[in-house]
Homo-oligomer: A and B are copies of this chain.
Amino acid sequence: MKIIVLGGDGFCGWPTALHLSQAGHEIIIVDNLSRRNIDNELECSSLTPIQPMGTRLRVWQEVTGKSIRFIKLDIAKEYVELRDLLAAEKPDAVVHFAEQRAAPYSMKSPRHKTYTVDNNLNATHNLLCAIVENDQDIHVVHLGTMGVYGYSTGPKIPEGYLQIKVVSDGKEYPHTILHPAYPGSIYHMTKTQDALFFQFYNKNDGVRVTDLHQGVVWGTNTAETLLDERLVNRFDYDGDYGTVLNRFLMQAAVGYPLTVYGTGGQTRAFIHIRDTVRCIELALENPPAAGDPVHIFNQVTETHRVRDLANLVSGMTDVPVQNISNPRNEADENDLVVENEKFLSLGLNPTTLSEGLMEEVTEIAKKYADRCDESVILPRSMWTQAKLSVVDEDVSEADAG
């Protein structure tokens, strides 16, 4: 297959591009390098020494003999260039990672909120609109999030579609609907709005879409990024982009208390980056048929309560846990029971926490600990104005801790 990877310089995009290239597909990476620019803005950087795109692709060619092309393009702003690229390259599929993907960053300030909305919604819409303008049949594989579901409406969150009975005037009418959206941040909200783009373009124009509702990704490297240190994947540990488990591993590696937001009673879904790239591959190999509705998969392998994870890492490393005020506006405790049969039935063989955790601590977090800037670890984005005053206190406490 010929595949364009939008956002192929990012944490999920880069290892996906390599994995698909290694599997024999022709890959073109499109990226505006926004994630690197945001590092500049936030004055932090990947714990791992990620290389510039030119080096990455040169090394990949050296190591594997395979070539990946790179095109710098802002798909949210450069519609005509995107359309012409699709028309010229005629890809079989596009994998769409090209969105601002951190919930804390999306809540940081009005400028960050408006940027996330403007960027994410125009990016997704431009892609769909360009495919239709070109009258192409391109399979769109989109990285969504478990955060679209918001809360459990039954014992198990289904894969995208919910079986319901509408209750009206005492009668009941069976229907299947897109799972109701109840997002917890501006970032998550844009993904619920993406789902409506997909539904409309699928219904009106027959665009074939697979939407992957992914859990929190942990881990760093895949088989391909391990081939040479210059291919290493990004590892974020800062308060905005560091996902919870990777942040704990980093804190453990440098002996910094494992900061748990609120009670830590939030249950989250997790997946290792090695399984992410395998899931994308499975989605590409199993596209919707013409006329199918949007395919939706839950891209998740385990669920855990945050405090349980903190205690697990603490037990492995003797670094203590510290509770701080929750910067987010959410329930203290939540359950999360998720169906994930679809990828398992397609052959996904998950990497479990118990297998991968220690490797991450020693191979990544400890190895690169000298690159850590502890001043960026604590949360710096508050969900509401009322929470802004509380955080300063927490930060000084934790710094002392």
Contacts of A118 in B (CB 8 A): 118, 122
Considering only CB atoms and an 8 Å cut-off, how many residues of chain A contact the other chain? Answer: 55
Q: Are A163 and B153 in contact (CB under 8 A)?
A: no
Given contacts A129-B110, A177-B180, A204-B384, contact A168 B193 (CB under 8 A): no
A395 within 8 A of B: no
B residues in contact with A329, CB < 8 Å: 203-204
- With both beta carbons as reference points, the residue of chain B lying nearest to A169 in the complex is identified as B155
User: When each residue 158-176 of chain A gets 1 if its CB lies under 8 Å from chain B and 0 otherwise, what string results?
Assistant: 1000111111110111110
Residues in B neighbouring A205, C-beta threshold 8 A = 384
Known: A110-B129, A193-B193, A385-B132. A166 touches B178 (CB 8 A): no
The contact sample of 30 A-B pairs, CB cut-off 8 A, is: A83-B110, A110-B133, A114-B129, A117-B121, A117-B125, A118-B122, A153-B173, A154-B166, A154-B167, A155-B169, A155-B171, A155-B173, A156-B168, A162-B166, A163-B167, A164-B165, A164-B166, A164-B167, A165-B165, A165-B167, A165-B172, A167-B174, A175-B180, A178-B181, A182-B203, A183-B196, A189-B196, A189-B197, A204-B383, A205-B384
A192 on interface, CB distance cutoff 8 Å: yes
Closest B residue to A130 by CB, please name it: B110
Q: Mark A107-125, 1 if CB is under 8 A from B, else 0.
A: 0001001100110011001
Closest 4 CB pairs of A and B: A154-B168, A154-B166, A163-B167, A177-B180
Across-interface contacts of A385 in B (CB, < 8 A): 132, 135
Interface residues of A in 190-225 (CB under 8 A from B): 192-193, 196-197, 199-200, 203-205
A126 part of interface (Cβ distance < 8 Å) = yes
Contacts of A155 in B (CB 8 A): 168-169, 171, 173
Which of A79, A135, A154 lies at the interface centre, i.e. has the most chain B CB atoms within 10 A of its CB?
A: A154
Question: A79-B114, A118-B122, A384-B204 known; A171 and B154 CB under 8 Å?
Answer: yes
Q: Tell me the A residues contacting B by CB distance below 8 Å.
A: 79, 83, 110, 113-114, 117-118, 121-122, 125-126, 129-130, 132-133, 135, 153-156, 158, 162-169, 171-175, 177-178, 180-183, 186, 189, 192-193, 196-197, 199-200, 203-205, 329, 383-385
- From B125, B175, B181, contact of A114 by CB (8 A): B125
> Is A178 in contact with B180, judged by CB distance below 8 angstroms?
yes
Q: Are A192 and B196 in touch, CB under 8 angstroms?
A: yes
Residues in B with CB closer than 8 Å to A197 are: 189
Q: Which residues of B contact A180 (CB under 8 A)?
A: 175, 177-178, 180
With contacts A110-B129, A113-B129, A182-B199 known, what are 12 further pairs, Cβ within 8 A?
A110-B133, A114-B129, A154-B169, A155-B169, A155-B171, A162-B166, A163-B167, A177-B180, A192-B196, A193-B196, A196-B196, A204-B383
